[in-house]
Amino acid sequence: MRGLKEMNVIVTGGAAGIGAAISRRLAEEGARVGIFDLDADGAERLADEIRAEGGSADAYAVDIADWDAVQAGVAKRADDAGFIGGLVNNAGWDRAVSFLESDHDLWRKVIDINLYGPLNMTKAVLSRMNEEGRGKIVSMASDAGRVGSSGEAVYSACKGGIIAFNKTVAREMARTGIVINTICPGPTDTNLLDSVDPSGRLKEALAKAIPMRRIAQPEDYPGAVAFLLSDDAGFITGQTLSVSGGLTMAG
């Protein structure tokens, strides 16, 4: 992919699941990856693994829900690696429960991570990109934000919010050379899905509902992310791309 060599990219939630697959792929493309994760040990392990394979990666223990921690983490990454040319808002969290049974403590945690998290990261990185007049942001939302998902009402609200937020910021930044796009994963074989579906029965049912008849693997996403960070995507902004085996087909 053009333009990824030496690009300094932050991947949030890069220690596990989809974020780890994205971090590995970006490093393979020659990018310098800053892995931001709550799980400091997991992030460090992945950074070690990427470096052992000849790539460039550094780990940062950051809670994306904490604005002060985000500002400090982004400043440290810029000190360590220079201009931050790319941001992948990937970290997310949920616990499945019907809306009627959910309470404010759960809402707050879901909103802090899935909505405030990307807002915090985008704000901290975007002001630096704006000074340089270039940069690319990709956020991992969810098909839940496009079509809903039972047991995930507040999470879906956050993901729908991210889709709309990215479109709006993409418009505000359109004349600066900064592009902002959204990818919507479908059900994916990661810890997050295991935590909402410990029996595995939901996964079987979901696979039947997906036109391509399988749930996703983390490796289904990095190609689309790399493309949207690359020079080839320089004229694409404010778009929402579902990568979900045909689960949703939005016009």
Find the shortest distance in angstroms from Cβ 240 to ligand NAD: 13
Whether 31 and 5 have beta carbons less than 8 Å apart is answered as: yes
Print the binding letters for residues 185-204 with ligand NAD: x by CB under 6 A, - otherwise: x-xx-xxxx-----------
Task: Determine if 65 is a binding residue for ligand NAD (CB under 6 A).
Answer: yes
Contacting ligand NAD within 25-64 (CB under 6 A): 37-39, 42, 62-64
Task: Determine if 10 is a binding residue for ligand NAD (CB under 6 A).
Answer: no
Q: Which of 4, 10, 18, 210 binds ligand NAD (CB under 6 A)?
A: 18
Active site residue 60: no
Give the DSSP per-residue string, 180-206. Answer: EEEEEE-SBSSHHHHHH-TTSHHHHHH
Find the shortest distance in angstroms from Cβ 5 to ligand NAD: 25
Find the shortest distance in angstroms from Cβ 120 to ligand NAD: 10
Within a 10 A sphere around the Cβ of 98, how many other Cβ atoms? 10
**In DSSP terms, which residues pair with 61 in a beta bridge?**
37
Q: How many residues bind ligand NAD (CB under 6 A)?
A: 30
Rounded Cα distance, 213 and 187, in Å: 11
Find the shortest distance in angstroms from Cβ 16 to ligand NAD: 4
* Strand, helix or coil for residue 169: helix
Extract the runs of DSSP E, i.e. beta strands, from the chain. 8-12, 32-37, 56-61, 86-89, 135-140, 178-185, 240-243
| Closer to ligand NAD by Cβ: residue 3 or 193 | 193
Angle 138-94-228 from CA coordinates, rounded to 5°: 10
Half-sphere exposure of 152 (CA within 13 A, CB side): 25
Which residues belong to the active site?
155
- The residue ranges that bind ligand NAD (CB under 6 A) are 12-13, 15-19, 37-39, 42, 62-65, 90-93, 113, 117, 140, 142, 185, 187-188, 190-193
